Amino acid sequence: MDTNRLSQTITAALNRQMTNEAHNAQIYLAYAAWADSEGYEGIANFLFRHANEERNHMMKFLEYILKRGGKVKVSPIPDPGPDPTDVNDCFERIFKSEVDNTANIYNLVNMSMEEKDWATWNFMQWFVKEQTEEETLALDLLSKIKVAGGKNAGPDALYALDNDLAKTADDARLAQDVSVENP
Ligand code: FEO
């Protein structure tokens, strides 16, 4: 008896998205390490926390595939790419990465709707909402660096921004009650 409740197409797409989320985690991890090595400990702390949140997203996909009787395929995670050139570049790349991720999430929603796989469609709604918050968070980072002077932000403004993110890290979306157990 076939207990797999996911189609092959949806299974492949969910597995791809699981890897995308792992890739997102690697991007935040790489940028956090870069920020720390540049002396921006507040920004690094913020990004390290977010890397964990992305890993939780990865786990959420993994657990869903298993729950529906599908086959999980753990694949290599693509390279996060070169380090940012500066804080402005870092925040711009984060925003782009989140927008790209939203497109991937919407694609899965479309696929589940086409297949009338309402369980997956329902599961994906959590991510639709999450991506709105993630884009808002990324836009907030962009606003902060813009106020600090964008590409031309001086050391004083960057110091203030770094302190700001160090202090606000616990209030940010990424510090909410998300965990591997409860993603
Ligand atoms: Fe898991 Fe930032 O999207």
Q: What's the burial of 59, exposed, middle or buried (CB within 10 Å: 0-12/13-18/19+)?
A: middle
Q: Say yes or no to pLDDT of 134 above 70.
A: yes
Lowest mean pLDDT among 37-51, 87-101, 139-153, 158-172: 158-172
Structure tokens at 47: 């990004």
For the CA of 20, the closest atom of ligand 1 is 1
Any residues with Cβ below 6 Å from ligand 1, and which?
21, 24, 54, 57, 98, 101, 134
Confidence at 56, pLDDT banded by 50, 70, 90: very high
Q: What is the pLDDT of residue 182?
A: 54
**Residue range 121-130: average pLDDT?**
97
All domains of the chain in start order, with CATH: 8-172 (1.20.1260.10)
Q: What is the pLDDT of residues 159-175, one digit of tens each?
A: 999 998 887 644 444 43
Structure tokens at 126: 């959590």
DSSP class of residue 175 equals G
Contacts of 156 (CB under 8 A, 6+ apart): none
For the CA of 57, the closest atom of ligand 1 is 1
- Find the 106 Cα to ligand 1 centroid distance in Å: 13
For the CA of 54, the closest atom of ligand 1 is 1
For the CA of 98, the closest atom of ligand 1 is 2
Question: What is the distance between the alpha carbons of residues 95 and 137, in angstroms, rounded to a whole number?
Answer: 9
- Find the 90 Cα to ligand 1 centroid distance in Å: 16
- pLDDT over 70 percentage in the chain: 91
Q: Say yes or no to pLDDT of 156 above 60.
A: yes
Q: To the nearest whole number, what is the mean pLDDT of the chain?
A: 91
- Find the 164 Cα to ligand 1 centroid distance in Å: 22
Task: Give the chain's largest Cα–Cα span.
Answer: 66
Q: What is the pLDDT of residue 174?
A: 44
Q: Say yes or no to pLDDT of 72 above 90.
A: yes
Lowest mean pLDDT among 22-31, 68-77, 155-164: 155-164
Q: What is the pLDDT of residue 103?
A: 98
Q: Say yes or no to pLDDT of 52 above 50.
A: yes
